[in-house]
Chains A and B, each alone.
Chain A
Amino acid sequence: MDRIYFQDTFAALAKSLFYERGRGAGFRATMVGRDYIDRHEIQGGTSDAVIENCIAVLAENNLVEKAAYQKDESDSFFTFEVKGCAHLPVEAWLEKEGVPAFVCPPINMILYKIRQLIGVAVEIADISVHHKEEKCIVRVVIFKQ
């Protein structure tokens, strides 16, 4: 199977969505990735446990090489560093086309499971792609509403 075909297709669809919705496109893509993570048994009684368990599944299945995160003093603002993500070629294509990163399926999966299992509010705040280092920085909020 030619992976480039799927990467090109995903990228073209993302570009279409961005040109339709502009900055609001991110809010229309928050469910991307859910089906995949639902195929796996994720458990955890805290946000940290859910994050670790999701990252393990993502890494085991080669969707990401590795991922780590840290929280600020508020305990609500998380910064994820995702290395070697399967979506990096898609982001490279989008960047070439002038489309900013607005969807991160791996983080969507993590936030979805946190919301489902812990019941707290979650939101991606921003995404930045660093192609040279083959990593993304995704900042998110996780908090009790």
Chain B
Amino acid sequence: MDDLLELMKTRRSIRRYKKKDVPDELLEKIMEAGRWAPSGDNGQPWRFIVVRDFETKKALSRIATEGSGRRFTAEYFTGRLDERFEGLKDEEKKARAYQKLRSGVVSAFLIEAPVIIVVCAYLDVWDVPYDVAMATQNMQLIAHALGLGTCVVVAPVCDIIDEVETAKLLKIPHGYKVALPLAVGYPDESPRPRPRWALEDILYHEEFGKKRGQ
């Protein structure tokens, strides 16, 4: 049990990968973990597309970059980026971060990922988002256990306009949708853990806002 918790705690979103191929056997293990995720009404909406083709990765990367760039540019002008980076006092670093976000290049790494597993979903199922999210979590954890890194990249599907373009690129038929692309590869970085709320700050008893003993 502790091993599983440790696996969860040490998983990171990996955006830089070694130039090393990921064998099919490992990818199949990852998708096998996905297909054993909980599923409402056992609908199993998940479908997987393994993308290795450079041109397809390049196209996905472009859609992701444009989407991210638009959203962060909007956030820059409204001042929301300043709110996000409130803690960063180094103005030079801040300017670099803003430039990276506004250009959308923050999501461009899809092109560098050795493999992208595009998680798709059959829509004639009641619990599509929950099922797909649980399957993806399974996949990320098993990948981490196998020494692989993953990153969910929602940028090519976040905005419905981009999702339509992504679906066209991948020839998704009517009745299905692209849920999310999952980048997979051997990690070439070791990101620090991101801050998390302490359990005591997010835990209530019996009703929202009520602490134990209140």
A residues with a Cβ closer than 8 A to B are: 20, 24, 27-31, 72, 74, 76-77, 121-126, 139-141, 143, 145
Contact = CB atoms under 8 A, between A and B. Distances in A.
Contact of A124 (B69, B74, B158, B164): B74
14 contacts: A20-B129, A27-B71, A27-B158, A28-B159, A28-B160, A30-B161, A31-B160, A74-B77, A125-B78, A140-B74, A141-B77, A143-B73, A145-B69, A145-B70
Contacts of A74: 77
Contacts of A72: 77
Contacts of B66: 121, 145
Nearest to B164: A31
A30 B159 contact: yes
B56 to A, nearest CB: 21
Contact of A126 (B78, B104, B159): B78
Interface string B119-145: 000000000010000000000000000
Contact of B70 (A28, A77, A123): A123
A125 B75 contact: yes
A145 B78 CA distance: 18
A104 to B, nearest CB: 13
Nearest to A125: B74
Contacts of A124: 74
A27 B72 CA distance: 13
- Prevailing SS type, chain B contact patch: helix
Contacts of B74: 123-126, 140-141
B184 to A, nearest CB: 24
Contacts of B73: 76, 121, 123, 141, 143
Contacts, number: 48
B2 to A, nearest CB: 33
Contact of A27 (B69, B104, B159): B159
Contacts of A28: 159-160
A87 to B, nearest CB: 19
B87 to A, nearest CB: 21
Contacts of B161: 30-31
A121 B77 contact: no
B78 A139 contact: yes
Given A139-B78, A141-B77, A121 B158 contact: no
B77 A27 contact: no
A123 B160 CA distance: 12
B158 to A, nearest CB: 5
4 tightest Cβ-Cβ pairs between the two chains A and B: A125-B74, A123-B70, A123-B74, A27-B159
A96 B69 CA distance: 33
Interface in B96-120: 104
Given A121-B69, A145-B66, 11 more contacts: A27-B71, A30-B161, A72-B77, A76-B73, A77-B77, A121-B70, A124-B74, A125-B75, A125-B78, A143-B73, A145-B70
Given A30-B160, A31-B161, A139 B70 contact: no
B25 to A, nearest CB: 36
Nearest to B70: A123
B70 A141 contact: yes
- A20, A126, A140: most-surrounded residue (chain B CB, <10 A): A126
